[in-house]
Structure 1
Amino acid sequence: MKNQIGFKIKNTRRKAGISQADLSEKLGISSSYLNLIESGKRNVNVDLLLKVSDVLNIELKDLSKKEDANLYHDALDLLGDNIFEDLDITNIEVKDLANNNPLIAKALIRLGDFYKKGNKEIYSKVESISEDNITKFKSSFPGEAVSDFLQKYNNYFQELEDYSLKVFKSVNSKNKTRHVLLIDYLKNKHKVDVEDIVPSEKDNFAKKYDDNKKKLYLSDYLTLETKKLYAASQIVQLEAMDIIEKQLNDFVFQNEESKNLTIIALVNYTAAAILMPYELFFNECKKHRYDLELIQHTFATSFEQVAHRVTCLQNPKMKGIPFHMLRADIAGNISKRLSLSGIQIPRYGGACPRWNIHSAFITPGKIHAALSKMTDGEKYVCIARTVEKGIGRYGVHRSMVSIGLGCEAKYAKDFVYSDQLNLKEDQAAIPIGVNCRTCTRLDCQQRAFPPINKKFKIDLNKRGISVYVNE
């Protein structure tokens, strides 16, 4: 614990531009003693912690809170790769790294991202030459920057919420639909016309804005819910890009691609807030205990839009349930991930096959609810439902993805999908992990790889319930 506190003091001091000598003088201790605290060699008593909290303007709970769970999980996920198998790295050693050397852990994860990106580029070049379909290396690495960014700020941005509320109030009317109101707003305030058209095969698009003609073209293949989001997004792009740019100032992006993708995510965040303003949406969620389909119809939005929006309810004065959310395709590729619930979502590779985000594909369009138990004993109420994406017209195949949403079991009474689950009996919980390499369960018949925490040995005379487990 003292290593964690010392690191946080040093990190906060450096960010504030305060020298070690200046801080020690304000705290009434010697520079050498402060150096020992920051290096984790001395404990900090309560009185000194209070002084540090006051001088550095940091909450006491932030100084003493546990390790960064997401950092630990991402490092564990990375070091669970087969290339590290001979090193026998344990979970405890990874946790020590995240606790005592978080910057080193972040550096390793960054190296891991670059390594995977390099592999992706190599296989993309091979594919372009051989025309082989090497899909398993085509994960969207810039998307990880978006996840990291949203995770850092708990997917909540007060200034964007304030702006969205102003737009909502200005377009609110009982006499017109929201889509028409947004179109009128663009026309009246920005002289922008919105036109629904069927794209040609040579110029296929979902939306397209022509600044010279002041026209926003929306594909007629889109659902009305998506058209509304795009119309709101155009308002944001015309009015609030300076606010969005401000949100990016304290985050380091590795490339322009990642930054631009994050800008798009914030534009969509703001557009969704216009369609579902915070306080009104929060009250509906509390009233209906997060019944997503009911709330979806209340705001005339899509299931995925509502699932995204419930993860944004992190205003300290009006706080909703901290959810995790992920989106995966039928092959298990995770295209979106955010964890405010504390559950680990894999950064590299697919998720545990026991997660209901996979079984949701068996009965499309139906919400699957489950009580899941992680290897650390923590229980989560998780729901999943498939949604169709892409062009909506006869003869064109639409892709299908599964949306997963969940929270800690302690919030079950406030989450309507818990009502049909047996929360009292421990055996009713489905044992899940993160992925096979980091999962410690040895009784899983669906194990696809040996666990990182146990040396894998082949015994020709004995086979357990999995080829990778002989016990």
Structure 2
Amino acid sequence: MAAHKLYVGAKLRETRQKLGLTQKDFAGKLGVSLPYLNQMENNNRPVSTSVVLSLAQQFGFDVTELSTGDSERLISDMREAMADPVLADIAPPLADLRLTASNAPALARAFLHLHRAYRQTHERLASLDEALGREDARTQPSPWDEVRDFFHYCDNYIDAVDRAAERFAQPVGGAGNIRVKAVSALGHRGIEVSFTDSARLRHFDPDTGQLEISLRAAPETQTFQLLLQVALLEQDKLLEATLDFARFQSDTARSIAKIGLANYFAGAALMPYTSFLNAAQEVRHDLEVLAMRYGASIEQVAHRLSTLQRPGAKGVPFFFVRVDQAGTITKRHSATRLQFARFGGACPLWNVHRAFETPGRFLRQLAETPDGVRYVNLARDVSKSGGAFGAPVRRYAIALGCEVAHAPQLVYADDLDLSKPRAFEPIGISCRICERTDCHQRSVPPLERRLAIDPNARGVLPYEVG
């Protein structure tokens, strides 16, 4: 396979600026000429192997950061935005999007912000009965989308919060004792914890210092809610400092993000980074073994695996997604090249949709995306009982996957034939940006392709894709 040329001028320039070095000083430390550095920073030349080695040796730089930055996410997000019907006739080719993401990432983000504003306005106009006369009908991202993008572009890894959670859990000694420590930490703050038969998972009264945890919730959920409350109380300054750094546009987005950070702390305390990474590698990412060892749910374990991106100690880069029965993505994260659709549902050919048909079972899938990248996918339903007769059951399914190069590190890849191309099922991301011409599950035509309509013939689709 031919070597992949690395054009990461924006990342190289950002690294130099963080170090406070001029181009001349930076070039000297990397052992290259000033014109050569200038060409690399402007993506006129790829970053050479010697420069990559110098970055690692001179500055301790994690070179994997060069190839796993924001570029792929920006390209995926721009392709989906360009799939909007209003842009369909003027959408630039993929090569131009790649150049924009590499050379002008700030411009790409500005375009995505503008497109989100357009969609917000369009959706409000489509619901006049809700939008007319409201003073808050502004063209800004929804708070939920803003928070989702924050975690998305942080690689779903928040270093300061993750390390604080690891320090909190470190003296425990055994995974089962983290619950006791959480109750003890709350007790030291004068908070009394009680377990009640309530439909609410958690309720804290700051005036009385009473924290109620629902007995209807699963034990791992109870522990998680205890740790979440610990985060809100003991780590408030850290959470607020992180929120200041994010610069959210509204108080609502900031409030949502704070709960998200508290959730992050809870998961990281339940499954401390170093311990969990070592355990995951030891058991080859067996979700059930990890769930029992850490007193966590399958979903909690899968989500945590997708966050193991600490510089210098990264785990297998996974993607993680949760969908509801309608196929709507309710959680999404990818440390791989695969990026999820920002709007709409997941590709119907993913095995995650079949997980609802086989509750309690893990489904495996070898899959290939239109860009030729191959993945090992794992899917399972994670239905959540209401805890009482007649209480509604929330039904979800999760998918966890990684590129096939990491298959030897997964127990789920054992006995799968990775050598046969036909074993890999063709999947996509979103129909509008999927270039496959022969997909039997296509719902709308792909962008950048001409359609041929023959009134005298009909195949699987009512048109043929050129």
Find out whether 1:308 has 2:307 as its counterpart: no
2:191 alignment counterpart:
192
1:455–1:93 Cα change, 3 Å:
farther
TM-score (norm 2): 0.84
Q: What amino acid sits opposite 2:119 in the alignment? A: K
Count of residue pairs the alignment pairs up: 452
User: 2:8 & 2:426 partners in 1: Cα distance?
Assistant: 34
Extract unaligned runs of 5+ from structure 1. Answer: 130-139
Q: Which segments of 5 or more consecutive residues in structure 2 lack a partner in the other structure?
A: 133-140
Query: Which residue is equivalent to 2:252?
Result: 257
> Does 2:156 match 1:155?
yes
Q: What amino acid maps onto 1:151 in structure 2?
A: H
State whether residues 207 and 216 of structure 1, in contact with CA within 8 Å, keep that contact through their aligned partners in structure 2: yes
- Number of the residue aligned with 2:333: 338
Closer, same or farther: CA 95–392 of 1 in aligned 2, 3 Å: same
Of the candidates 419, 433, 436, which is equivalent to residue 424 of structure 1? Answer: 419
| Residue in structure 1 matched with residue 369 of structure 2 by the alignment | 374
In structure 2, what residue type is equivalent to 1:229? F
The 1:90–1:179 alpha-carbon spacing in structure 2 relative to 1, beyond 3 Å, is same
Partner deviation per Cα, 1:6-53 (whole Å, 9 max, x = no partner): 5445555666777xxx64587689999988876566888889999999
Correspondence 1:67-466 to 2 at 5 A: 68-122=71-125, 126=129, 141-172=142-173, 178-187=178-187, 189-199=188-198, 205-389=200-384, 391-466=386-461
* Residues 125, 131 of structure 2: 8 Å contact kept: no
Matching residue of 1:134: none
**Could you say if the C-alpha distance between residues 382 and 54 of structure 1 is closer, same or farther in structure 2, counting changes exceeding 3 Å?**
closer
CA 3–378 in structure 1, closer or farther in 2 if over 3 Å, else same? closer
The more displaced of 233-242 and 22-31 is: 22-31
Secondary structure of the structure 1 residue equivalent to 2:395: strand
Distance 1:30 1:313 in 2: 37
Structure 1 range deviating more: 458-467 or 403-412: 458-467
**CA distance in 2 between partners of 1:345 and 1:216 (Å):** 37
For the 8 Å contact 1:156–1:313, the answer to whether it is kept is: yes
Structure 2 CA distance for partners of 1:54 and 1:108, relative to 1, 3 Å: farther
TM-score by length of 1: 0.83
Distance 1:27-1:184 versus aligned 2 partners, 3 A rule: closer
1:264 is displaced (CA, Å) by: 1.5
Compute the displacement of 1:87 (Å).
2.2
Could you tell me how far apart the structure 1 residues matched to 2:324 and 2:426 are?
22
Cα RMSD between the aligned structures? 3.5
Is the 8 Å Cα contact of residues 147 and 257 (structure 2) preserved in structure 1? yes
Answer yes or no: is the 8 Å Cα contact 1:296–1:303 preserved in 2.
yes
Compare 43-52 and 434-443 and name the one that shifted more: 43-52
Letter in 1 for 2:106: L
Question: What's the secondary structure of 2:208's corresponding residue?
Answer: coil
Rounded to whole Å, the distance in 2 between the matches of 1:36 and 1:318 is 31
The CA distance in 2 between the partners of 1:33 and 1:247, in whole Å, is 37
Alignment deviations for residues 272-313 of structure 1 (CA, whole Å, 9 cap, x no partner): 222222232222211211111221122221111111111222
**1:293–1:126 CA distance, 2 compared to 1 (3 A):** farther
Output the CA distance in 1 between the equivalents of 2:247 and 2:329: 23
> What displacement does 1:470 show?
5.5
**Aligned partner letter, 1:380:** Y
Q: Within 2, Cα distance between the matches of 1:216 and 1:461? A: 69
Q: Structure 2: which amino acid aligns with 1:338?
A: H
Name which of structure 1's ranges 8-17 and 70-79 shifts more when overlaid on structure 2. 8-17
1:103-127 CA-to-partner distances (Å, cap 9, x unmatched) read: 2211111122223333444556636
Quick check: 2:454–2:463 contact (8 Å CA) kept in 1?
Answer: no
Between stretches 56-65 and 438-447, larger displacement belongs to: 56-65
- What SS class does the counterpart of residue 364 from structure 1 fall into? coil
